[in-house]
Chains A and B, each alone.
Chain A
Amino acid sequence: MATAPLTLVPGTLDLLVLRTLARGPLHGYAVATAIGERTGGELAVEDGALYQALHRLDRQGLVEAEWGPSANNRRARYYTLTADGRKRLREETAAWRRYARAVDAVLEGA
């Protein structure tokens, strides 16, 4: 716990958001908490960057935004993965796995 959270490798935040939304529509805050829980706080994700990513993905048509009531009856903006988003998620996940394996292979073999 004493170690400082890791800074994100550029470009990975979009992948994390897409993966988080793959389980179902969530509003921005829920996405932030889900990522935080999953990583156990290992990754330092600023909430602002997260929202920028969400709106960017909306712009690209990978997610869709719609207003709806939140759990405690607040109006919140829910994001849903589109078909394009799902496709992008599969591609990016595969690319990330290959990347990670390649890096791993180098590190293991050293």
Chain B
Amino acid sequence: MRELGRPFWYLRRRRKTVAAEVDEELQAHLEMRAEDLRAEGLSAEDARREALRRFGDLEATRAYCRRQDEATEGSRGRALAFADLGQDARIALRSLLRARGLTAVIVATVGLGIGATALTFAAVHATLLRPLPYPDSARLVRIYTDAPPNRFRFSVADYRALEEQQTVFDRVGGYTERPMSWSDGTSAERLRGRVVTWTYFDVLGLRPALGRNFTAEEGRPGAPPSVIVTDGFWRQRLGARPEAVGGPVRLDGTDHALVGVLPADVGPLEQGQEFFVAARWDVPPRKGPFLIITVARLREGVDRRAADAELRAINRRIFPLWRSSYQDERATWATMDLKTHVVGDVEATAALALAAVGLVWLIACANAGSLLVARVTARSRELAVRAALGASRARILRHLLVESALLALAASALGVAIAAAGLRLLVTQGAPYLSRVHEVGFGAALWGAVAALTLASAGLFALVPALHRSGGPVEDALRASTRSATASPAARRVRRLLVAGQFAIATPLLVAAALLLASLDRLARVDLGFDGRAVAGGSIALPAGQYADGAQVAAYWEELERRLAAIPGVEGVAFADGRPPAEVGNFNNFDLEDAPTPAGASQPVTPWVAVTPGYFRLLGLPLVEGRLFDAHDGTDPQVNTVIVDRAWAARFFPGRSAVGRRLKGGGCTECPWTTVVGVVGEVKYAGLDQPDRGTVYTPMVSRTIEGPVDPSAARFRFALVRAPDAPAAALGGVRQVVRAIDPSVPLTNAATMDELAARSLQRPRSLSRLVAAFAAVALVLSVVGIYGVMAFYVQQHAREIGIRVALGGRPRDVLRLVVAQGMAVVGSGVVVGLLAAAALARLMASLLFGVGATDPAAYAGVAALLLAVALAACAAPALRALALQPAVVLRAE
């Protein structure tokens, strides 16, 4: 019982009292001595004098004792405080372990909240807040052609003009994706790589770890091909041999001189790439195609607006040069932060995820606070007894604080474990969602978030019971009877407020989950436009080195078609340069004969897919009007034919027939007219969540195609087979055939159409699952909260209920009374929550598909769900109380 009455901060005031204590002790001694002496017969005055005489040197003793005591305090003070804290911790731990269920619920829920919130914050921090890991990255921008709503890449013509005329950038560079087949002589692999300008690494500030950067010489047209590879490529495929630098690397059948190897640590733009081939772009004959992503480093001190102004000026200057192949006069050049380009449009997703986990943490804390208020209330007799035995209010408060701190620490430890597990999941699975996921780690951001959340949690669930405790004198609790003592109005108010808060938080979370799930449902039910189960295939790109000649290319495709058709179970074979639901080959602009685009305006743009005649039958696309392609289409350069889909026909020729209409594609003004010969059903090419805006099909022929399409397109095709019985097995056959014809030609992205459709739903699915899981946690916590409050209420009023029933009150009236109490709390929370949801849901509009942010069904459904579950949680304890015999309840008092 030592030190029971001494709060921990009291030690600081002890120095003053040391002197007083010594004085009091010595004074008491002298008085006791004098009393005894008087009892022996001495006079009061003599007794006092004799006591002093026997004491000896009073002042010296007083000073000595004070010195000793001060030294004792000094040395023992801290140890004492720690010993007390240790004692408090032991007591708290014991009492928490006694309430195992409560402890488990609080630690698990708050721990989940801390872990998930800290990890999400760390991810958002690494992705959105931190600058790109390039030197002086604030000066890095991407330059693009701005033709709202589209942002187009640059063409070689654009890039050349920019390079020659700009004065505001230190350096400009560009890249374009170019997967290539790498061969070590025996087998081939298709690898992700890029064609980059020789300035590219200079712009970003990257230096090869081995070898050197590209030189201007290597970027000239006609120079021998050269390549810089990543550290991973060098280690895995070149055996990490330093002498590999300078040697040849065979890509697409051509030897490239290896000039450098990048360091292991590269920036987000280089992630996932294997090699970088130096661009040797020739002077272009026309403006397109637009394939280059342009990056640039602003000159020191140059304002972004000045840079934009110069870019606009250059664009205007070169516009007349390319009028024959490019007419969009409104399109301008503009810049954006390179970070925005890298990170992409993830702000809404990130904000939603952060809000979801943060709200779950908050709701878990509110739940913990509510449970702890109930615990303190239920323990008020115990605490009052302790107070009566001499524990100061400060000491009891400290006990409660230590309990909260222990809970927060345990939750924090669990949170770190959850964050660690989540981090592993994020790094392995999160790459498609966050471009900079490899930069997320157990860094300062994560630890800082954990620490802040732990402190806040401890504070949140300590403050509530502590504030409430210090409200009334403890003696009242002792004096009053058990019944009313435990239900102080303040405690009740605090708890109800917390539970209402839980519902107010859970509602927007559930609304968000409902909206996302509804979107996902709509997405999953989007009509693909074809029977996906029967079709499978993959893409093939013939290496330019080995297939330089058009005849060779044609021979390969013919041989492949013949062998694919011979696979058992395959009913049909077709080739195309695009594939549903999300791999569109090309977009192309065009001008209609009947509705020419005025000079200076943007021409319409739609997906532009080259297909072999069997394609439509293979996918089961219905012919709506006109005819399908036959063997003659595309063979005569003077007779161009296309097939359009229903959406295209409805968009450009509403209510009229599209067959026979004529157009000129790719901004080509000199070309002969292209005629629409047929209309087929729609298929998604740009993703399931994109509306059908029309598609144009061109005949695919086995010779090098001239015109608007990239010449290399002849070497690239999707090979598709129809095998209704076993598409997956047929896919294995396709792989075998491709390998058998030429082992150096790999088949990539092989999948059945069903798999592709499922894959394109992965992102919305995982987001909605995440939010739904957190919403479910919030729902459960809220229901636990209201159940706890009502169970407690009923327990406190058991006597009253018993009397009412005994006096003939109808159970239904009692039930209604009790339930109304609880539903008032829930209802107010839900109303506030719905208002908050309506305000917040607008922020997630970009993540929804086919559902409005204020979809009444979602809001009504969530409110109904919450009220129904809460109703059950309120009614259950009341029904139990009513089931008791009144006499039993009354006797128990």
For chain A, residues 12 to 49, give those with C-beta under 8 angstroms from any C-beta of chain B. Answer: 27-29, 32-33, 46-49
Q: A29-B29, A51-B61, A66-B2 are in contact. Are A46 and B69 (CB under 8 A)?
A: no
Contact B55 A29 (CB under 8 A): no
Q: Verify B56–A47 contact, CB threshold 8 A.
A: yes
Contact with B along A62-85 (1 / 0, CB 8 A): 001011001010111100000000
A interface footprint on B40-63 (CB within 8 Å = 1, 0 otherwise)? 000000000000001111101100
Docked pose: A105 CA to B36 CA in angstroms: 42
A58 is an interface residue with CB less than 8 A from chain B: yes
The yes or no answer to A86 lying at the interface (CB within 8 A) is no
Does A48 contact B28, Cβ atoms closer than 8 Å? no
For B57, list chain A residues within 8 Å (CB): 46, 48
- B813 close to chain A: CB less than 8 A: no
Q: Residue B593 at the A interface, CB < 8 A?
A: no
Q: A46-B56, A49-B56 known; A76 and B28 CB under 8 Å?
A: yes
What's the least CB distance linking B873 to chain A, in Å?
51
The listed residue (B24, B28, B31, B68) touching A56 by CB distance below 8 A is B68
- Secondary structure call for the B interface: helix
Contact B68 A58 (CB under 8 A): yes
**Contact indicator B65/A47 (Cβ below 8 Å):** no
Task: Report Cα–Cα, A20/B57, bound state, in Å.
Answer: 23
Residues of A within 8 Å of B25, CB to CB, are: 28, 51, 76-77
Contacting residues, chain A, for B61 (C-beta < 8 A)? 48-49, 51-52
The minimal Cβ–Cβ distance linking A22 to chain B, given in whole angstroms, is: 19
Contacts of A48 in B (CB 8 A): 55-58, 60-61
Chain A residues whose C-beta falls within 8 Å of the C-beta of B28 in the assembled complex: 27, 29, 70, 74-77
Name the B residues within 8 Å of A52 (CB-CB). 61, 64-65, 68
Residue of A nearest to B3 (CB): A66
- Bound state CA distance, A32 and B69, in angstroms? 20
For A56, list chain B residues within 8 Å (CB).
68
What number of residue pairs across chains A and B have CB atoms under 8 A from each other?
69
How far apart sit A20 and B589, CA to CA, in the bound complex (Å)?
108
Q: Which residues of A contact B32 (CB under 8 A)?
A: 29, 70, 74, 76
Say yes or no for B150: interface residue by CB 8 A criterion: no
Contacts of B55 in A (CB 8 A): 46-48
Given contacts A48-B61, A52-B64, contact A28 B69 (CB under 8 A): no
| Residue ID in chain B nearest A66 by CB atoms | B2
Does chain A have a CB within 8 A of B71?
Answer: yes
A51 / chain B contacts, CB cutoff of 8 Å: 25-26, 29, 61, 65
How long is the Cα–Cα vector from A56 to B64 in the complex, in angstroms? 9
Chain B residues within 8 Å of A97, by CB:
none
A50 smallest CB distance to B (angstroms): 9
Task: Return the contact of A28 from the options B29, B68, B76 (Cβ within 8 A).
Answer: B29
B207 contacts chain A at the CB level, 8 A cutoff:
no
* Cβ contacts under 8 Å, A27 to chain B: 28
Residues of A within 8 A of B65 (CB): 51-52, 55
A64–B56 CA distance with the chains assembled, in angstroms: 24
> Closest CB-CB distance, A34 to chain B, in whole Å?
13
Inter-chain contacts of B29 with A (CB < 8 A): 28-29, 32, 47, 51
Q: Check if B31 sits within 8 Å of A74, measured CB to CB.
A: yes
Determine whether B316 belongs to the interface, using a CB cutoff of 8 Å to chain A: no
Within the complex, what minimum Cβ distance (angstroms) separates B418 from chain A?
45
Whether a CB of chain A sits under 8 angstroms from the CB of B270 is no
Residues of chain A from 88 to 102 with CB closer than 8 A to chain B in the complex: none
Contact B60 A59 (CB under 8 A): no
B299, CB-defined interface residue at 8 Å: no
User: CA–CA, A75 to B24, complex, Å?
Assistant: 9
A47–B64 Cα gap in the complex (Å)?
13
Chain A minimum-CB-distance residue to B33: A29
- B558 within 8 A of partner (CB): no
Shortest Cβ distance from residue B70 to the other chain A in the assembled complex, whole angstroms: 10
Instruction: Please name the residue on chain A nearest to B26 by beta carbon.
Output: A51
Please report the C-alpha to C-alpha distance between residue A51 and residue B30 in the assembled complex, in whole angstroms.
12
Q: How far is the CB of A36 from chain B (nearest CB, A)?
A: 10
Residues of B near A72 (CB, < 8 A) are 35
Interface size class of B (residues with CB under 8 A): 20 to 34
The minimal Cβ–Cβ distance linking B352 to chain A, given in whole angstroms, is 60
Which residue of A has the minimal Cβ distance to B66? A55
Chain B positions 57 through 101: 1 when the CB is less than 8 Å from some CB of chain A, otherwise 0: 110110011001101100010000000000000000000000000
- Min Cβ gap B245→A in Å is 73
A65 to chain B, nearest CB (A): 9
| CB <8 Å contact, B64 and A64 | no
B521 interface residue (CB < 8 Å to A): no
Task: A46 to B33: give the CA distance in the assembly, Å.
Answer: 13
Instruction: Report A70 CB to chain B, min CB distance, Å.
Output: 7
Contact B56 A59 (CB under 8 A): no
Pair B54/A47 contact, Cβ less than 8 Å: yes
Q: Is the CB of B21 within 8 A of A77?
A: yes
Chain A residues whose CB sits within 8 angstroms of the CB of B60 once the complex forms: 48
Residue of B whose beta carbon sits closest to that of A33: B36
User: Inside 8 A of A58's CB, which chain B residues have their CB?
Assistant: 68-69, 72
Q: Kindly list chain A residues whose C-beta atoms are within 8 Å of the C-beta of B31.
A: 74
* Across-interface contacts of B76 in A (CB, < 8 A): 61
Please give the distance in Å from A37's CB to the nearest CB on chain B.
12
Residues on the A chain within 8 Å of B72, using CB: 55, 58-59
Residues of A within 8 A of B22 (CB): 55
- Contacting residues, chain A, for B64 (C-beta < 8 A): 52, 55
Minimal Cβ-Cβ distance residue in B for A47: B55
Are A64 and B33 also in contact (CB < 8 A) when A47-B54, A55-B68 are? no
Specify which chain B residues have a CB less than 8 angstroms from the CB of A64 in the assembled complex: 2
CB distance from A32 to the nearest CB of B (A): 8
Known contacts A47-B56, A75-B28, A77-B21; is A55 also within 8 Å of B69 by CB? yes
Tell me the bound Cα distance from A56 to B65 in angstroms. 8
In the bound complex, CA of A72 to CA of B35 (Å): 11
Residues on the B chain within 8 Å of A76, using CB: 25, 28, 32
A76 CA / B22 CA spacing, docked (Å): 11
- Point out the residues of chain A lying under 8 angstroms from B69, CB to CB: 55, 58-59
- By a CB distance below 8 angstroms, the chain A residues around B56 are 46-49
Contact with A along B822-837 (1 / 0, CB 8 A): 0000000000000000
Shortest distance from the beta carbon of A86 to any chain B beta carbon, whole Å: 17
Cα(A66)–Cα(B5), bound, Å? 11
Q: Mark B596-629, 1 if CB is under 8 A from A, else 0.
A: 0000000000000000000000000000000000
A64 CA / B21 CA spacing, docked (Å): 14
A6 to B343, CA, bound (A): 93
Distance A64 CA – B3 CA, assembled complex (angstroms): 11
In angstroms, how far is the closest chain A Cβ from the Cβ of B84?
A: 15
A80's nearest neighbour on chain B, judged by CB, is B2
Please measure, in the bound complex, the distance between the C-alpha atom of A51 and the C-alpha atom of B21, giving whole angstroms.
Answer: 13
Closest Cβ neighbor of A61 among chain B residues: B76
**Contact partners of B24 in chain A: CB under 8 A:** 75, 77
The answer to whether B2 and A47 touch across the interface, beta carbons within 8 angstroms, is: no
Question: Looking across the interface, which residue of chain B has its beta carbon closest to that of A64?
Answer: B2
Q: Complex: how many Å from CA A51 to CA B32?
A: 14
- Minimal Cβ-Cβ distance residue in B for A31: B29
How many whole Å from A89's CB to the nearest CB in chain B?
A: 20
Of the candidates A28, A51, A56, the one having the most CB atoms from chain B within 10 angstroms of its own CB is A51
14 contacts between A and B (CB under 8 A): A27-B28, A32-B33, A33-B36, A46-B54, A48-B58, A51-B29, A52-B68, A56-B68, A58-B72, A64-B2, A74-B31, A75-B24, A77-B24, A77-B25
In the complex, besides A48-B61, A51-B25, A76-B25, 18 extra interface pairs with C-beta distance below 8 angstroms are: A29-B32, A29-B33, A33-B36, A47-B33, A47-B55, A48-B57, A51-B65, A52-B65, A55-B69, A55-B72, A56-B68, A58-B72, A59-B71, A61-B76, A74-B31, A75-B28, A76-B28, A77-B24
Could you list which residues of chain B lie within 8 angstroms of chain A, going by C-beta atoms? 2, 21-22, 24-26, 28-29, 31-33, 35-36, 54-58, 60-61, 64-65, 68-69, 71-72, 76
A residues near B (Cβ < 8 Å) are: 27-29, 32-33, 46-49, 51-52, 55-56, 58-59, 61, 64, 66-67, 70, 72, 74-77
The 6 closest A-B pairs by CB, nearest first: A46-B56, A48-B56, A48-B61, A55-B68, A47-B55, A55-B65
